Structure 1
């Protein structure tokens, strides 16, 4: 038999009644934004009553831009006794919004997330592709895109990468609670490749505040033309199937064919003016650009044109002007790239474009002082690797 507890007060015994604690019922609903589904509709379809949907939307006004709601965004509803208690909306590890109950009203806010910046050395050794090399090193494959952007004037990451190539970078990493979020600026990088030799560049901020990349002697890393018309994307396949050997040619058809899946970003190899952006029949969707010094480039078989790309428009080097495709007389998805000089076709693969202006002599001392520790960090990786191989 269970006895009721007693409370002694002023020498008198009182029997304390047995009180069962009231239970509160909570329910949690996790959902994602579906195609063509505004947030209000998503909340209704998650079972939230219309008046409470209005509460959430009102609380987020001025806090969250509903136009930036994307397919796949996650949200969570916490209901207490069937009534809204908490709403959480997440786009990424650092982009999260909340609606919380505050008395009789609800308050919306963007969650404050602490982000830490570290400077780290990343070392990659290619066995099949740059993408796989990043995974093997425990890095996010996006490092491949970061390095490709830095070396875009000297290395064609669709054609020049070979087994055994090595890449190193001193790069910023942003983390939240120890979890990697994204890469920041590349401060220094080196690439040792069978087909391209040794490349080594350093980031340096010019007096006007604009950063640029320079070689160790102060020569610019930039050239008037990029090495490749394809912005490096996630190339995951191995050497054998990554680039079709039959399509890897320069022939009488006056150009180079790159095997690339439909939708691969195509960027302008140099600053220029669009002279053509239209379907040309056999060439499919085509963009042609006029550059300085009598050069012209054309990009064929595109799936679609970039935003604002039309005849007469100005484009900048590295601007995405189109997406690769399989339009026109094409036997498979690829990009046909052609280069003319003074009206005559030339081989894009054997051009040696000059570099842009080097650092002024007045800045060399400051440049060398700032890149010296970065060079030591790159070299330290080399020493570590050499020791590991002994």
Structure 2
């Protein structure tokens, strides 16, 4: 007898929901395919022509359609067969939206909050810098960042040894707890079985120029980089070898680096371009004349860097080309050659001087500004790091 009133109450509570109309939503997730425009992708997603035109019109002046590229993601939210919401995503910080507002559609770029943090990253290398980054819970691109600041002293393919340790006080740009990218390295240290101890600090000189210096004010920069690539492995060294195409013993007047087609190639020192053309067996080639009778050449390229031309000046670390497989080549690689006074020499065993150190007048300011960086870099001694870890550090 007590159950009946409860049943009646349940029926009364359910009545409004039973009589209300329920909207039907459909969600479609798609990607931009190769050689496909956004409008074509919308049509292929079965969006009616009038609504395709409405979306494109809403995004005009908000989104540059020329920058749409394969792999970009978009989502269509349909209500009763009519587009209610559209969003387009290129990256974690690049998103656009179109919302229905009555009878019209309004487009906008989504505002995403990005926080800059300064973090102390610690890595222990047991196999590679890439694996060390993953083991530390870092994005592998931290390896590229470190390769950049130590480019004058460490070749990160040839030089690392098991047990080497690296630490960096580095900017991180974070959104919703996710690292979007790394920024400037404020200070970094490396202890290696092959290269010994290296420490560098970022410093802005009175003229506004930013460079890296060692703890005593000596320049971290040398006149030549150790490698024309941030990451690559030597597949053929300098000297005589059995040529894989010609099938006979032949002098190999340079070093071959195995690397995928399209890898950026940076010039190892300031200089003037003396050659930027196809040289037949060497394929697309760039040669650069440097000081003191030195010249470098980069062969088998897929394409040249922006603005690279004969007679033009190039600066150390400038991307002058992209690796390829042109000319007499058995696979994608970069052939790198170094001449001293017209004679080929082995690029891997050359010693180059450092750039000018800080002046005596600048040194006190440098030491004062880097004192806190030294303290943060040494907050956990490298010898006792014991493994890969990350530590939060205050923004200096």
Alignment match, 1:348: 347
The aligned residue for residue 248 of structure 1 is 237
In the alignment of these two chains, the number of paired residues is 371
Shift in Å, 1:19: 6.9
Deviation at 1:17, TM superposition (A): 9.7
TM-score relative to the length of structure 1 = 0.88
Query: Mapping of 1:30-109 within 5 angstroms?
Result: 30-109=29-108
Q: Could you give the per-residue CA deviations for residues 334-356 of structure 1, whole angstroms, max 9, x where no partner exists?
A: 32211112222233223222222
Q: Distance in 2 between matches of 1:17 and 1:74?
A: 39
Quote how far apart the aligned CAs of 1:323 are. Answer: 2.2
Q: For the structure 1 residues 274 and 367, does the alpha-carbon distance in structure 2 shift closer, same or farther, using more than 3 Å as the test?
A: same
SS in 1 for 2:381: helix
Partner of 1:125: 124
Deviation at 1:149, TM superposition (A): 0.6
- Are 2:312 and 1:313 equivalent residues in the alignment? yes
Answer yes or no: is the 8 Å Cα contact 2:124–2:163 preserved in 1.
Answer: yes
Q: CA deviation at 1:139?
A: 0.8
Q: In the alignment, what sits opposite 1:22?
A: 21
Distance in 2 (alpha carbons) for counterparts of 1:70 and 1:368? 47
- Measure the CA separation in 1 of the matches of 2:254 and 2:153: 19
Aligned to 1:303: 302
The CA deviation at 1:215 is: 0.7
Residue in 2 that maps onto 1:260: 259
Q: What secondary structure, in the 3-state scheme, does the structure 2 residue paired with 1:153 have?
A: coil
Distance 1:326 1:3 in 2: 80
State the Cα distance separating 1:300 from its structure 2 match: 1.8
Paired with 1:384 and 1:110, the residues of 2 have a C-alpha distance of: 48
1:160 aligns with 2:165: no
- CA–CA distance in 2 between the matches of 1:145 and 1:20? 61
SS in 2 for 1:71: coil
Q: CA RMSD in A?
A: 2.6
In structure 2, the CA distance between the partners of 1:262 and 1:61, relative to structure 1 (3 Å rule), is closer
Q: Distance in 1 between matches of 2:322 and 2:359?
A: 38
Q: How does 1:368-387 map to 2 (within 5 A)?
A: 368-382=367-381, 385=384
1: CA distance between counterparts of 2:218 and 2:291?
Answer: 22
CA contact under 8 A between 2:273 and 2:310: conserved in structure 1?
yes
- What pairs with 1:188-337 in structure 2 (closer than 5 Å)? 188-232=187-231, 243-244=234-235, 247-251=236-240, 252-337=251-336
Name the structure, 1 or 2, with higher relative contact order (CA <8 Å, separation 6+).
2
What secondary structure does 1:381 align onto?
coil
Measure, in 2, the Cα distance between the counterparts of 1:131 and 1:356: 30
Give the match's secondary structure for 1:199. Answer: strand
Change in CA separation of 1:297 and 1:104 when aligned onto 2, cut-off 3 Å: same
Q: Match of 1:175, SS?
A: strand
Where 1:293 maps in the other structure, the secondary structure is coil
Q: Which blocks of at least 5 consecutive residues in structure 1 are unaligned?
A: 8-15, 236-241
Matched residue SS, 1:369: helix
Q: Does 1:177 find its partner at 2:165?
A: no
CA distance in 1, matches of 2:237, 2:62: 52
Q: Distance in 2 between matches of 1:360 and 1:180?
A: 38
Deviation at 1:3, TM superposition (A): 6.2
C-alpha deviation, 1:126, in angstroms:
1.3
Q: Is the 8 A contact 1:4 1:17 kept in 2?
A: no
2:172 counterpart SS class: strand
Give the Cα separation in 1 of the matches to 2:308 and 2:16.
Answer: 80
Per-residue CA distance 1:236-265 (angstroms, 9 max, x = gap): xxxxxx544xx2344543322223333332
Which residue of 2 is the match for residue 10 of structure 1?
none
In structure 1, what is the equivalent of residue 146 of structure 2?
147
Deviation at 1:183, TM superposition (A): 0.8
